[in-house]
């Protein structure tokens, strides 16, 4: 019988994989410019794995596309806290800040 530590590890891995599935769905929807649906998919991904920098960046991209630049800035900054070199987050943050300037 597997120990609690092994089961906990397996469960954690399953949750992260399920989060990746939501992120991949968001990626498809984002590519199709279905921003609200992509936004919802990334939100689910982030509930399961809040340390997913790419999901935060793409969540921010959706927020920007949905004319929510303040929210986009917060999400993109969250992505950069997790991965300071993430190009799509850096580019998105510049665009979101520019949108705030009007």
pLDDT tens digits, residue range 36-61? Answer: 999 999 999 999 999 999 999 999 99
**Residue 4 pLDDT exceeds 70:** no
| Structural domains of the chain, count | 1
**Residue 71 pLDDT exceeds 90:** yes
**Residue 7 pLDDT exceeds 90:** no
Burial class (CB in 10 A: 0-12, 13-18, 19+), 100: exposed
If you average pLDDT over every residue of the chain, what do you get? 90
32 assigned to some structural domain: yes
Residue with tokens 């649906």: 37
CATH number at residue 16: 1.25.40.10
Residue 17 pLDDT level (bands cut at 50, 70, 90)? confident
- Integer Cα distance of 68 and 77 in angstroms: 14
Spell 87-96 as b/e; 16+ CB within 10 A means b.
ebbbebbebb
Residue with tokens 């340390």: 51
Q: What three-state secondary structure class fits 2?
A: coil
H-type helices in 1-102, by residue range?
4-31, 35-48, 53-65, 69-82, 87-101
Query: Do 72 and 100 contact (CB within 8 A), yes or no?
Result: no
Mean pLDDT calculated for residue range 74-89: 98
Domain span including residue 73: 10-101
93 assigned to some structural domain: yes
């Amino acid at each position: 019988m597997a120990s609690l530590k092994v089961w906990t590890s397996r469960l954690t891995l399953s949750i992260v994989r399920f989060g990746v599935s939501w992120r991949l769905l968001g990626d498809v929807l984002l590519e199709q410019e279905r921003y609200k649906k992509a936004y919802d998919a990334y939100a689910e991904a982030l509930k399961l794995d809040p340390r997913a920098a790419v999901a935060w960046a793409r969540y921010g991209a959706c927020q920007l596309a949905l004319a929510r630049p303040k929210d986009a800035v917060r999400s993109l900054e969250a992505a950069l806290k997790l991965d300071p070199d993430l190009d799509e987050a850096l580019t998105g943050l510049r665009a979101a800040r520019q949108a705030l300037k009007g």
